[in-house]
């Protein structure tokens, strides 16, 4: 993958990570997975580029539905897209590691 493709993935992942989770949660409640229709609607409502919808599919579709959309991942692997999204996801002040209690202090 070229540096330009890497940069574009990082840029797209950042925009999706900043806007999409709140939109999905507001419209359909908090969930680990959503339908393709829900994702597509949230992308349009959040004014994100629908040509980059593969980023949202990699994160929010169930594995069996994601496999059917494999053609969207011609430039990047699913795992590379998922990793880029997770790196760009905003973090709350108290959630720096999964090993900490809700207060943010080590046990």
Label residue 74 by pLDDT band (50, 70, 90). Answer: low
Task: Report domain extents, the chain.
Answer: 3-88
Residue 81: closest CA among 2, 16, 4, 3? 16
Q: Tell me the average pLDDT of the chain.
A: 82
Residue 27 has pLDDT above 90, yes or no: yes
* Mean pLDDT for the stretch of residues 28-32: 93
CA dihedral 16, 13, 81, 67 (to 10 degrees): 20
Nearest to 9 by CA among 58, 66, 64: 58
Return the pLDDT at 92: 61
User: What are the pLDDT digits (tens) for 90-104?
Assistant: 876 444 444 434 444
pTM above the 0.85 mark?
no
Q: Burial letters for 60-84: b for 16+ Cβ neighbours within 10 Å, e otherwise?
A: bbeeeebeeeeebbeebebebbbeb
Which pLDDT score, from 0 to 100, does residue 21 have?
Answer: 94
Question: Would the pLDDT of 106 be above 60?
Answer: no
């Amino acid at each position: 993958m070229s540096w330009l493709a890497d940069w574009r993935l990082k840029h797209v992942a950042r925009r999706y990570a900043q806007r999409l989770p709140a939109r999905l949660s507001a419209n359909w409640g908090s969930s680990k997975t959503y339908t393709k229709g829900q994702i597509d609607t949230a992308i349009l409502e959040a004014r994100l580029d629908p040509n980059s919808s593969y980023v949202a599919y990699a994160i929010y579709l169930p594995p069996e539905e994601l496999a059917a959309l494999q053609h969207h991942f011609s430039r990047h692997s699913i795992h590379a897209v998922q990793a880029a999204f997770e790196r760009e996801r905003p973090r709350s002040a108290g959630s720096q590691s999964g090993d900490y209690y809700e207060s943010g202090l080590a046990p």
